[in-house]
Amino acid sequence: MPEGHSVHRIARQFARNFVGRRVHLSSPQGRFAAGAALLDGHVMTDARAVGKQMFLEFDHGLWLRVHLGMYGAWDFAGDILMDATIASANGRMGQTSQRGTDVDSAVLDAAVLDSAGENSMHSIGAPRRTRVRMAEQEKEIDQPGTFPPEPVGQVRVRLLTDTVSADLRGPTACEVLDPAQVQAVIDKAGPDPQLDDSTAAEDRFTAVVRRKPTPIGLLLMDQSVVSGIGNVYRAELLFRAQVNPYAPGKSLPEDTVRDLWRDWAHLLKIGVETGQMMTMDDLDGDEWRLAMKNRADRHWVYKREGLPCRICGTHITLAEMGARKLYFCPRCQA
């Protein structure tokens, strides 16, 4: 269920709780028993996300590659060091995003909301005994229990240290790779603004898009063109840019394509920092608070078919593109 922001957050979770520690791997479900044996008992040395792919490195040079697909998820349990959202926001106060929105005060709002107990997660400092499911969103499963927990359902692989466990279920990919194979996967991926926010990356994206006759709505979902965008961000980015999803890439003005890239970098950053796919920034405090609680208030067009466009009132259209649901405003995105 995740788009790029969640995969970066999950990689962070592994960096905080597993990197530098010896890990036992098993496959409670049995389907990954051979792969788990190749990595079992080694120290995790790195955790990285590239677009929607995650790579975990072990001390003998082999990697675990995981892609969650449409409904994969990681369940963490034990004494977990959680994302220090509040500390992060405090440490960055004053920075301003490209669009002129103060992302960090927004993050701080979210964190304050969390600490008020209205949302589910986040604390600072010491590990906390808990259970968390990380997919597109993160939710705390309240049920401390014993450690390690009994595997529930179809657990493809379990990673276990003295104090923390991580169960993977429903992935579309879970395999052991050598460094050359990892590099090959990364080489195929389009630029990920979370890893490379340079002008060169923007140039690369812009050049590729403006060369192709393919509809921009398909190009944004093509992971070799740009990494990390899924069905929600596709719809929202196109609405925010007032671009028709069917417009061929090569028909778009250069500035429009560059704006799409910069806006993706912007939304991805918000997603990584808040853990939410918040695509309506520029909200005031109360609106933001509401939107953080109710997904229905977070998007311009996604899952809003038949409802009035928030800008012009026209009914939002639902169509199909690339075998996925496409939402757009036929007037604003004419």
Partner DNA sequence: TAATTATGACGAC
Partner DNA sequence: TCGTCCTAATTAC
Distance CA 33, CA 283 (A): 48
Residues 197-226, mask of contacts with DNA (x by CB under 7 A): ------------------------x-x---
Binding DNA (rule: CB under 7 A), the pick from 123, 194, 231, 333 is: 231
Choose between 62 and 232: whose C-beta lies nearer to DNA: 232
Choose between 230 and 245: whose C-beta lies nearer to DNA: 230
Choose between 61 and 153: whose C-beta lies nearer to DNA: 153
The minimum distance between CB 20 and DNA, in angstroms, equals: 29
Residues 205, 47, 187, 229: what is their CA dihedral angle, to the nearest 10 degrees?
Answer: -30
Residues 38-77, mask of contacts with DNA (x by CB under 7 A): -------------xx--------------x-xxxxx----
Q: Which of residues 161-190 bind DNA (CB under 7 A)?
A: 169-172
Choose between 78 and 190: whose C-beta lies nearer to DNA: 190
Distance CA 189, CA 7 (A): 15
Binding DNA (rule: CB under 7 A), the pick from 156, 158, 289, 298 is: 156
- What's the residue count for the chain? 334
Residues 95-134, mask of contacts with DNA (x by CB under 7 A): ----------------------------------------
Write the DSSP string, 269-315: HHHHHHSS-----S--HHHHHHHHH-GGGT-SSTT-BTSBPTTT-PB
* 149 preceded by a cis bond (ω within 30 of 0): no
Distance CA 325, CA 303 (A): 9
Question: Any idea which residue has 């953080």 for tokens?
Answer: 292
Are the C-beta atoms of 177 and 185 separated by less than 8 Å?
A: yes
Distance CA 153, CA 225 (A): 36
Residues 271-300, mask of contacts with DNA (x by CB under 7 A): ------x-----------------x-----
Binding DNA (rule: CB under 7 A), the pick from 24, 42, 325, 331 is: 325
The minimum distance between CB 234 and DNA, in angstroms, equals: 8
Write the DSSP string, 196-243: --SHHHHHHHHHHHTT--SBHHHHTT-TTTSSS--HHHHHHHHHHHT-
Paired tokens of 160? 């276990």
List contacts with DNA (CB under 7 A): 1-3, 6, 29, 31, 51-52, 67, 69-73, 136-137, 152-156, 169-172, 221, 223, 230-232, 277, 295, 323-325
